[in-house]
Amino acid sequence: MKITGVELRRIAMPLVAPFRTSFGTETARDVLLVRVVTPESEGWGECVAMSEPLYSSEYADGAADVLRRFLVPAVTALPDVDAYGVERALAPFKGHRMAKTALECAVLDAELRAAGRSFGSFLGAARDRVPCGVSVGIMDSVPRLLDAVSAYLEAGYVRVKLKIEPGWDLVPVRAVRERFGDDLLLQVDANAAYTLSDAPHLARLDEFGLLLIEQPLGEEDLVQHAALARRLNTPLCLDESILSAGHAAAAISLGACSIVNIKPGRVGGYIEARRVHDVCRAHGIAVWCGGMLETGIGRAANVALAALPGFTLPGDTSASGRYFATDVTEPFVLRDGHLPVPAGPGLGVAPLAGVLREVTTSTEWIPA
């Protein structure tokens, strides 16, 4: 496939409610979308980097810059390209995994649309719908938290994840467990807010029968997570620490985690995300699909990924309405706690022209 050109488009997506984590509070998404145009078709990809480098080192303006100056030219220079060719062409550039993922996804979407093949069939989806969990932010009070969880359970979510940080952990978790009972699938995510010296405190989470504790320690603390895992009964899950299939293998062999949250943007692409899935599966490690408050573009790709056989835990693949009053694609709507895997060619969804025009804050065309 020969690329004619690439569009970088920024869109502003207000959130239906502020989303607070241990690293900050988000009230709107400033999203970078990538559109790849070829003579046969066009494809879309979403860069999940935040507007500020608070979750990872990447941020939207930086991703746009590295795409504009290095990544897009490296790909559009190729006479014929597919998603694997994109991976090879981008390998010389270090890091910038979220930016790379957006471009790889857009090429893959265009390629699959031209071939009349769905994302799910390319990745190896084993199901046509996936069970969905929900990520609940840090709230102003426990009553407000209980109201939010109650509404999400009403909506049908099959698993609840609570954001925690020092000062907001045991009390809210205990309140949710006591209100909604022992059968509720419940887990927590600290976004690296603790240190190994907090081990005795974190061990007190064991009494709540959680599915997992996600990324309690720093992104680079693989050995410390292994030490912490030996002092907890609750399984440890890593998110920020796992940037590749190699990282997953290292974390597993160190005993730093027994579950992995897979986010394609964090690991550099959907092809690499499948490699992480395969490595974990080979080690008997369960995986689930994380979320970065994606629009329907990233959501469509993630739901397809979440349908792979090793994704045995509900992911943060929540409905569009969890984050946006109006999604940029047809909304993903929860049915019996599941989202359908798009079956159409490519991502199976595309931005709705009217909504896209409304939310666009800038566009830039990069000719091949």
Ligand X SMILES: CC(=O)N[C@@H](Cc1ccc2ccccc2c1)C(=O)O
List active site positions: 163, 263
* Residues between 193 and 222 that touch ligand X (CB under 6 A): none
Q: How far is the CB of 221 from ligand X (least distance, A)?
A: 16
Q: How far is the CB of 292 from ligand X (least distance, A)?
A: 4
Q: How far is the CB of 189 from ligand X (least distance, A)?
A: 5
Size of the site for ligand X (CB under 6 A): 15
The three-state (H, E, C) secondary structure of the chain, written as one string: CCCCEEEEEEEEEEEEEEEEECCEEEEEEEEEEEEEECCCCEEEEEECCCCCCCCCCCCHHHHHHHHHHHHHHHHHCCCCCCHHHHHHHHCCCCCCHHHHHHHHHHHHHHHHHHHCCEHHHHHCCCCCEEEEEEEECCCCCHHHHHHHHHHHHHHCCCEEEEECECCECHHHHHHHHHHHCCCCCEEEECCCCCCHHHHHHHHHHHHHCCCCEECCCCCCCHHHHHHHHCCCCCCEEECCCCCCHHHHHHHHHHCCCCEEEECHHHHCCHHHHHHHHHHHHHCCCEEEECCCCCCHHHHHHHHHHCCCCCECCCECCCCHHHCCCCCCCCCCCCECCEEECCCCCECCCCCCHHHHHHHEEEEEEEEC
How far apart, in whole angstroms, are the C-alpha atoms of residue 8 and residue 290? 24
Residue from 189, 221, 294, 327 touching Mg ion (CB under 5 A): that is 189
**Considering beta carbons, is residue 36 or 47 the nearer one to ligand X?**
47
19 binds ligand X (CB under 6 A): yes
**Considering beta carbons, is residue 9 or 29 the nearer one to ligand X?**
29
Question: End-to-end alpha-carbon separation of the chain, Å?
Answer: 13
Q: How far is the CB of 37 from ligand X (least distance, A)?
A: 27
What are the two backbone dihedrals, phi and then psi, of residue 328, each rounded to the nearest 5 degrees?
-80, -15
239 binds Mg ion (CB under 5 A): yes
* Residues between 75 and 134 that touch ligand X (CB under 6 A): none
The three-state (H, E, C) secondary structure of 111-132, written as one string: HHHHHCCEHHHHHCCCCCEEEE
**Considering beta carbons, is residue 169 or 239 the nearer one to Mg ion?**
239
How far apart, in whole angstroms, are the C-alpha atoms of residue 232 and residue 201? 10
Site string for Mg ion, 198-227 (x = CB under 5 A): ----------------x-------------
316 binds Mg ion (CB under 5 A): no
316 binds ligand X (CB under 6 A): yes
21 binds ligand X (CB under 6 A): yes
298 binds ligand X (CB under 6 A): no
**Considering beta carbons, is residue 279 or 292 the nearer one to ligand X?**
292
Distances (CA, A) of 22 to 169, 324, 339: 11, 22, 28
Partner that binds at residue 295, options Mg ion, ligand X, none, CB closer than 5 to 8 Å by kind: none
314 binds ligand X (CB under 6 A): no
Partner that binds at residue 50, options Mg ion, ligand X, none, CB closer than 5 to 8 Å by kind: ligand X
Residue from 191, 302, 320, 329 touching ligand X (CB under 6 A): that is 191
Residue from 47, 50, 149, 202 touching ligand X (CB under 6 A): that is 50
55 binds ligand X (CB under 6 A): yes
**Considering beta carbons, is residue 242 or 271 the nearer one to ligand X?**
242
How far apart, in whole angstroms, are the C-alpha atoms of residue 347 and residue 341? 9
Partner that binds at residue 316, options Mg ion, ligand X, none, CB closer than 5 to 8 Å by kind: ligand X
109 binds Mg ion (CB under 5 A): no
Partner that binds at residue 315, options Mg ion, ligand X, none, CB closer than 5 to 8 Å by kind: none
In this chain, which stretch among 37-45, 270-278, 284-292, 299-307 interacts with ligand X, using CB under 6 A?
284-292
169 binds ligand X (CB under 6 A): no
Write out the residues near ligand X by the rule CB under 6 A.
19, 21, 26, 29, 50, 55, 135, 189, 191, 239, 290-293, 316
